[in-house]
A = this chain, B = another copy of it.
Amino acid sequence: MKNYSKQREAILTVLSQTDTHPTANWIYEQVREIIPNISLGTVYRNLSQLSQDGDILSINVGDGFEHFDYDTSPHAHLHCKKCGCIHDARLENDPLAKVAKKTGFTPETTIYVAYGICQNCNTNN
């Protein structure tokens, strides 16, 4: 198979089994439990290619880390300024799709991010 490798397989497996939106480094540490001598560079290389191919989503919330998401369907990301968590929120449709097309723009991927305070941080303060 094209682009197949044990490493890439393991990265996808790890990514598909988490609800969080991990960083490259987090993924690296998880994958090392499967392939102990995998290198961080390899993780970066694969994540970069996977997101370019549209197989995974790259999300940048501005916290200095690139986050990745196995779920490539259009959905919103709620990023808490306090605890830094990122939660998903389902979207009925893809609001940007139509707006973009109206301006002659051909969208391939859409990323929605809301910044604010999550439910947990709201109640615990």
Binding site for B on A (CB under 8 A): 58, 60-62, 66, 76, 78, 80-81, 87, 89-91, 95-97, 99-100, 102-119, 122
Contact = CB atoms under 8 A, between A and B. Distances in A.
Contacts of A89: 96, 99-100, 102-103, 105
A109 B105 contact: no
Nearest to A51: B62
Give the number of copies in the complex.
Answer: 2
A110 B100 contact: no
Given A113-B110, A114-B109, A62 B62 contact: no
Contacts of A58: 62
B104 A111 contact: no
Contact of A100 (B60, B104, B116): B116
A22 B107 CA distance: 22
A22 to B, nearest CB: 16
